[in-house]
Structure 1
């Protein structure tokens, strides 16, 4: 059994154990133990303990059987849980796993509203994505012990939640969007992982926003190779080598988006994907259809109160109607909004006010938390200062 296959089976196996009476935390621990066993022995030879004597024809059934035994062993070993053990059904006879898809329920559980966004993301990566605590910790650049505590708290929080009510698809989508925005760090590509999980979700729910989010992810991810230079510095969209964009991902994203828009149930992710598609469709930065992009931002403003949408709209207005129109739109926003100063610097530069732009770029660099963004803004300020009269 290969690791990718096993990881894809984890959500369904956890959900089966929960339906049989295990609480979420115990079920997740038991499945992780079974996964370790599967990766350790890769059963294909003589029978040993939980392992079958022949090659595994039903990997999910095998994982369920081993995980259930691990759960029972752990329950019996804990005297404080004796009474609960008495209520457990007799151990099921090993056999083919029922063709029941419990993955969607597990998505809802991991995105439960009682969890903080960071805890929901960590639990989703662990239980649905099948990542180890170490991998998640490396991706978020925190100590493994810190991430272990976060995941443990999250598991305790949802352990008493029953899987018998419809979940909120919008909450699940928001969690997956947060995973995608973390991008890449350590040895785990969270952007790719978010795409994989969103593909699973889009198959399981009849919801145009699931398709919209998948399209948005694919269209953004298609530009990933062109976003940084060889030295690691950021490359703005207008300066990217469009020959390095993934045309296959763009084509797939556009196809998925068109199908979602055809259902006439517009949502935030579909509108964002439409904007990304217009950028992807332009052969050059100069040929970008900024007027249509502004129209899509107007739709987004109606759909969400997110101030970042209005900030991005100001940039689009500056491109479509000129920098002064963009600055007028920007003046309506809270100046403390992240990236607001950087946008003002860009629009002032386009308007020919290099001194103000240089000052604002330096100010934006001072506010930036991301090192690559800070370096980019600092270079922009230095570039303009070099052009100013001495």
Structure 2
């Protein structure tokens, strides 16, 4: 229902959609603001920053990740229609949340869902502009971290194939468009769009709960999350398809996801181990290929081209993992080896004894 309603409001032939630079794909709306479209580019920036938190909070409310993305995109359409003339509001994330909640109410009503859902979501307001009360409620950050963590585990749920987990994670948590994911993995856009659509359908049919696993299940599920993040990073660090040996944009996406995850579960040493590994490996990206694009072995790289800021971040994350204690996991162990190389000013200064210990 939400999908049909959105297509009526912003049909591809509608001149408003052309002015806004919006396209429709199986995986959702795609923003394509032109270079001179200042308002569109501002909205695109806001959307990329706010969409993961928005979808996470809406998934808690609707208990349906597909519906959550639908109503979030409905709010995006409303922003595209209103903000170019009214200006970007002072609290854009709260504005989007308030409008998305209204769209969720409409969807529940059309689905004739139980009255308790209406009470849970609140009262629908007839006007288009959110009230101050709505904005205050929408900007409540008390549960955003928990919601994001729940969304992480849903996107990486074992009921989904590994390819589906990667695509859904990049879409909902990374904020990437279907076009960007397809381009990064050299896969046709319809294939990625269908993969994301099927993933959301699978989650709904399996009635996957919107919760953080506990006990032994937490460790297993966290391993799946780390695997997905590192797969994204590795595809950027050592591309398995295409002519380019490295794809830095994918490494940046994985790093961003890893840093967010470290903030959500700060007491998990292996999360910090993964972040450390990615930071240190990413520090070498500029030195990994020659001008022709051919790979340069580690010991032959120009270490002056290594990014010292990323190395510093990686070493700090590794120290955090070590302080937390426990048996070092595979990511922390690889990070420790990478750190030995990062600390050495020349190949000859590498602490090989520590590496083989």
| TM-score bucket of the superposed structures, by smaller chain | 0.7 to 0.9
Taking the aligned partners of 1:55 and 1:138, their CA distance within structure 2 comes to 30
Deviation at residue 42 of structure 1 after TM alignment: 7.2
* 1:289 maps to which of 348, 351, 354: 351
Alignment match, 2:135: 95
Deviation at residue 74 of structure 1 after TM alignment: 4.8
Alignment match, 2:59: 18
Taking the aligned partners of 2:77 and 2:229, their CA distance within structure 1 comes to 26
Taking the aligned partners of 2:300 and 2:73, their CA distance within structure 1 comes to 45
Does the CA-based 8 Å contact 2:153-2:222 persist in structure 1? yes
Deviation at residue 223 of structure 1 after TM alignment: 0.3
Deviation at residue 44 of structure 1 after TM alignment: 7.1
Q: 1:263 to 1:22 in 2, by over 3 A?
A: closer
* 2:276 maps to which of 195, 212, 215: 215
Deviation at residue 177 of structure 1 after TM alignment: 0.8
Which structure is larger by alpha-carbon Rg, 1 or 2? 1
* 2:156 maps to which of 106, 111, 114: 111
Could you report, residue by residue, the CA deviation over 1:274-303 in whole angstroms, capped at 9, with x for unpaired residues?
0000111122223322221112xxxxxxxx
Could you report, residue by residue, the CA deviation over 1:202-235 in whole angstroms, capped at 9, with x for unpaired residues?
0110211111111110000000000000011111
Does the CA-based 8 Å contact 1:8-1:129 persist in structure 2? no
> Is residue 304 of structure 2 the alignment partner of residue 275 of structure 1?
no
Alignment match, 2:170: 125
Alignment match, 1:181: 234
- TM-score, length of structure 2 as denominator length: 0.72
Taking the aligned partners of 2:94 and 2:55, their CA distance within structure 1 comes to 12
- TM-score, length of structure 1 as denominator length: 0.67
* 1:34 maps to which of 54, 75, 80: 75
- Structure 1 regions of 5+ residues with no counterpart? 47-53, 296-390
Does the CA-based 8 Å contact 2:105-2:118 persist in structure 1? no
Q: 1:271 to 1:132 in 2, by over 3 A?
A: same
Does the CA-based 8 Å contact 2:56-2:151 persist in structure 1? yes
Alignment match, 2:254: 194
Q: 1:242 to 1:104 in 2, by over 3 A?
A: same
Higher relative contact order (CA 8 A, sep 6+): 2
Does the CA-based 8 Å contact 2:62-2:68 persist in structure 1? no
| C-alpha RMSD over aligned residues | 2.5
Alignment match, 2:298: 237
Taking the aligned partners of 1:289 and 1:188, their CA distance within structure 2 comes to 28
Helix, strand or coil at the partner of 2:49? helix
Deviation at residue 45 of structure 1 after TM alignment: 4.8
Count of residue correspondences: 283
Taking the aligned partners of 1:140 and 1:287, their CA distance within structure 2 comes to 37
Alignment match, 1:61: 94
Taking the aligned partners of 1:59 and 1:155, their CA distance within structure 2 comes to 26
Deviation at residue 5 of structure 1 after TM alignment: 4.2
